[in-house]
Amino acid sequence: MKTNVMRILDANNIKYEVFEYEPNQKLTGNDISKILNEPPEVVFKTLIVEGKSKEFYAFMIPVNKELDLKKAAKAVNEKNVSMIPFKDLLKVTGYIHGGCSPIGLKKPYKVTIDESVLINNVIYFSAGKVGAQVKLLIDDFLKIVKPSIQDLVI
């Protein structure tokens, strides 16, 4: 079954591959990179933070890395940012934990991705539901998401 992510990619004539696996919210990003048989550097997670201004932002980092909240705040010109609680994710983004994607967010939040994305020519990220990832060429990803590219990890 197609997700909003896939429908948006289709509508924009973006080529992608879908990889599905047994849905399990307990899987870590590293587990998913192993399931995909890909290095964790090309598999990205989408994290949602709230700034001091009460604005929400989406950050994408490799699954084997940790978001540096100071760098994240600086990237979006906030005094500070904090991760939103999992229980608020659906209300804020339209996605549940483990299925959050930078494409098809409930509102057009600013998306910032770690600069390491430029090292590879493909990227994997959530297809908008637990148990599904999409693979895109980096150029297509940058064209559809239009993220800011920054140093974001610890």
The most distant pair of C-alpha atoms in the chain lies apart, rounded to whole Å, by 41
Kindly report the average pLDDT of the chain as a whole number. Answer: 96
pLDDT tens digits for 14-25?
Answer: 999 999 999 988
pLDDT band at 41 (very low <50, low <70, confident <90, very high): very high
Does pLDDT of 26 surpass 90?
A: no
Closest CA to 111 of 121, 123, 25, 119: 123
SS3 readout for 127-152: CCCCCEEEEEEHHHHHHHHCCEEECC
pLDDT confidence band for 128 (50 / 70 / 90):
very high
> What is the C-alpha radius of gyration for the chain, rounded to an integer number of angstroms?
14
Please name the residues in contact with 137: beta carbons below 8 A apart, sequence gap of 6 or more: 15, 121, 122
Q: Closest Cα to residue 46, out of 106, 124, 116?
A: 124
Q: Which run of H or E residues covers position 69?
A: helix 69-75
Q: pTM (2 decimals)?
A: 0.96
User: How many Cα neighbours within 13 Å face the side chain of 146?
Assistant: 4
Decide: helix, strand or coil at residue 126: strand
Which residues are 17's β-sheet partners? 135
What would the pLDDT profile of 71-108 be if each residue is shown by its tens digit? 999 999 999 999 999 899 999 999 999 999 999 999 99
Q: Is the pLDDT of residue 31 over 90?
A: yes
61 confidence band (pLDDT: 50, 70, 90): very high
Nearest to 76 by CA among 47, 106, 100, 104: 47
